[in-house]
Amino acid sequence: MYDLVVIGSGVTGFGAAMYAARLDLSVAVIGDVDGGTITLTDDVANYPGFIQLTGKELADNLKAHALDYPVTIETGLVEDIFRDDQDFFYVITSNKTFLAKSVLFATGMKERELEVPGHDELRNKGVSYCALCDAPLFKDKTVAVVGGSDSAAKEALLLAKFCPKVYMIYRRKKIRPEPINGRRIENEPRIEIITETNVTEILGDSRVEGVKLDNPHNGSDTLELDAVFIAIGGIPFSDLAKKLGIETNEKGEIIIDRSSRTNVDGVFAAGDVVDTEFKQAITGVAEGVHAAYQAYNYVNEKEFAFICEENV
């Protein structure tokens, strides 16, 4: 029986576990990818306190911090979860069941990947999924955003602060940003929109050098670039949460309040799986820490209730 089971072993989960243990909660972290998606990133320069380190190093720091306390870390994938009529949670992996008084979903999300040749080889070598993280690395360079959503538009607008030339490459006839961002793009001469065009290959040897297009642009089916930012949507890992009746938004993200509480008592969520537009390591970790504190409050008030019943 754990006071708190954290589902997800990314930086958010580790930060939450460390704090929960400091609050004297018994806590287990269950995850299949040790360190989470940030470990795919070579260059993290935006976690305040560390000027520059790799995603793996940041995750290792957070994990070591958690393990400085009595935290159980279990490698595995949670396959099922339910709640019994005494409000205990059963968190089930392929070979174990964890009994928990409270649960934190720090399950993260998966970017929808651009499945073209060159993508995997050049990922983090000019192929990026986060302008907010990586834009400063490409100052004064030529870049492209693949995608036409409002998120893609905002990536392009941010990149235009740093880069003299930003292409937006979109498969449909018209990009579909929110009106305000559409107007900002119209007023931004650094952004050029290429519609009805797909990227069919990412070109480059050790770094991105360009992309191949299925619809020639200015007479050429290749475009020279220093970086490609992919913004074709993400998939939050919230299916398990939905099984517990947790409310999600239209993107499938778990809805939380300022204290990382979901609509279900005893269930908290934090990090990339939640309904914030602004998904950064530092904010995910802080949400996790907030959740740990709320779990502490929840577990103690519940325990008090049990004692009360015994006394009556």
Helix H or strand E segment including 104 = strand 97-105
- Shortest separation between residue 270's beta carbon and its own copies, angstroms: 11
Give 67-71 contacts, CB < 8 A, sequence gap 24+: 68/18, 69/17, 69/18, 69/21, 69/22, 70/21, 70/26, 71/17, 71/18, 71/20, 71/21, 71/27, 71/28, 71/29
Angle 6-265-22 (CA atoms, 0-180°, nearest 5)? 45
Is the sign of the CA dihedral 85, 89, 90, 92 positive or negative?
Answer: positive
The distance of Cα 174 from the centroid of its chain, to the nearest Å, equals 28
Tell the smallest beta-carbon distance from residue 101 to its own copies (Å).
15
Structure tokens at 177: 């940003």
| Non-local CB neighbours of 97 within 8 Å, separated by 6+ positions | 90, 91
Pick between residue 164 and residue 216 the one whose CB is nearest to its own copies.
164
Coil, helix or strand at residue 294: helix
Interacting residue ranges for its own copies, rule: CB under 8 A: 11, 14-15, 18-19, 22-24, 45-51, 58, 61-62, 64-65, 68, 132, 135-136, 157-158, 161-162, 180, 183-184, 187, 257-259, 276, 278, 280, 282-283, 285-287, 289-290, 293, 300-301, 304, 307-308
Q: Give the DSSP letter string of 200-255.
A: EEEEESSSEEEEEEEEEETTEEEEE-SEEEE-S-EEE--HHHHHTT--B-TTSPBP
Q: Considering the complex, what minimum distance in angstroms separates the CB of residue 109 from its own copies?
A: 18
Give the tokens for residue 149.
């959503």
Shortest reach from residue 166's CB to its own copies, in Å? 13
Query: Measured from the CB of residue 21, what is the shortest distance to its own copies in angstroms?
Result: 9
Residue 13 C-beta: closest distance to its own copies, Å: 11
Whole-number minimum distance, CB 87 to its own copies, in Å?
17
